[in-house]
């Protein structure tokens, strides 16, 4: 009788533990059944960075979830502006950049409306500037520069009220390395020059849509 009692007790305790937890559809991670799961994000997030519009750019990103706590994000941007106000002494600037992030989330994205992540990244960027020679030269002089960077960022992804829309904000920095020869001294923006060797900041601010 004692053996039967302890057997039933173990079965009861085991059943209660199983009832509190279940596996998600991918059978990759246990989640707490007492807490409702978020429908979003799904496997993919497409995003844009609205701040780039104000300096003549368009930046788009694609994030693919590998698990409930990790993802890969690919980001590409193109910039063109005839009034190169942020670069004094130039008629226009044109450039593009490519960036890859591995994002490791602290918590399960389906259990939390917002969660923090750590993200190492690799970046390549290039720029072309045309000098404003005040009409003194028949052929305008152009300057080109390119750079690569590796670093790390810390950010957060915030779901917008049970919708497929997200806000993604990250801040960090890394080492920048000029590539080949070029006009790296001229590509100076305010207090930082990402086209010269050194440490520089990185800021990402994006709106995303999950599907």
Q: What is the pLDDT of residues 100-143, one digit of tens each?
A: 999 999 999 887 778 999 999 999 999 888 877 665 665 677 88
> Residue 72 and residue 169: Cα distance in Å, rounded?
16
> Residue 63 and residue 47: Cα distance in Å, rounded?
8
Q: Is 87 helix (H, G, I), strand (E, B) or coil?
A: coil
Residues 63 and 103 sit within 8 Å (Cβ to Cβ): yes
At 187, the pLDDT band (50, 70, 90 cuts) reads low
> Residue 158 and residue 192: Cα distance in Å, rounded?
29
Other beta carbons within 10 angstroms of residue 4's beta carbon come to: 8
Confidence check: pLDDT of 19 > 50: no
Q: What is the pLDDT of residues 86-110, one digit of tens each?
A: 666 677 789 999 999 999 999 998 8
Residues 59 and 73 sit within 8 Å (Cβ to Cβ): no
**How many angstroms separate the Cα of 132 from the Cα of each of 39, 98, 117?**
53, 28, 43
At 189, the pLDDT band (50, 70, 90 cuts) reads low
Confidence check: pLDDT of 151 > 60: yes
Residues 100 and 119 sit within 8 Å (Cβ to Cβ): no
Q: Ranked by mean pLDDT, which of 39-48, 97-106, 177-186 comes out on top?
A: 97-106
Q: What angle do CA 107, 108, 111 make, to 5 degrees?
A: 110
Residues 116 and 106 sit within 8 Å (Cβ to Cβ): yes
pLDDT for residue 103: 98
Mean pLDDT of 190-202: 80
| Tokens of residue 72, six digits | 């890969």
DSSP category for residue 197: S
Mean pLDDT of 10-19: 40
> Residue 73 and residue 62: Cα distance in Å, rounded?
6
Residues 113 and 160 sit within 8 Å (Cβ to Cβ): no
pLDDT for residue 79: 92
Confidence check: pLDDT of 7 > 50: no
Mean pLDDT estimate for the chain: 79
Residues 145 and 126 sit within 8 Å (Cβ to Cβ): yes
pLDDT for residue 199: 92
pLDDT for residue 100: 98
Fold of the domain built from segment(s) 42-210: Porin (2.40.160)
Residues 195 and 181 sit within 8 Å (Cβ to Cβ): no
């Amino acid at each position: 009788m004692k053996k039967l009692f302890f057997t039933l007790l173990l079965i009861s305790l085991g059943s209660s533990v199983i009832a509190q937890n279940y596996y998600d559809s991918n059978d990759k991670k246990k989640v707490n059944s007492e807490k409702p799961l978020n429908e979003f994000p799904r496997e993919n997030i497409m995003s844009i960075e609205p701040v780039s519009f104000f300096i003549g750019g368009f930046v788009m990103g694609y994030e693919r979830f590998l698990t409930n706590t990790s993802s890969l994000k690919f980001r590409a941007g193109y910039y063109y502006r005839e009034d190169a106000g942020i670069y004094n002494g130039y008629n226009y600037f044109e450039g593009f950049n490519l960036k890859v992030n591995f994002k490791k989330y602290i918590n399960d994205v389906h259990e939390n409306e917002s969660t923090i992540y750590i993200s190492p990244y690799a970046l390549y960027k290039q720029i072309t500037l045309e000098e404003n020679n005040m009409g003194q030269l028949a052929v305008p002089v152009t300057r080109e520069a390119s750079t690569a960077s590796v670093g790390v960022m810390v950010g957060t992804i915030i779901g917008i009220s049970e919708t497929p829309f997200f806000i993604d904000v990250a801040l960090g920095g890394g080492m920048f390395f000029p590539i080949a020869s070029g006009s790296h001294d001229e590509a100076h923006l305010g207090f930082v020059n990402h086209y010269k060797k050194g440490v520089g900041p990185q800021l990402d601010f994006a709106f995303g849509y999950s599907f």
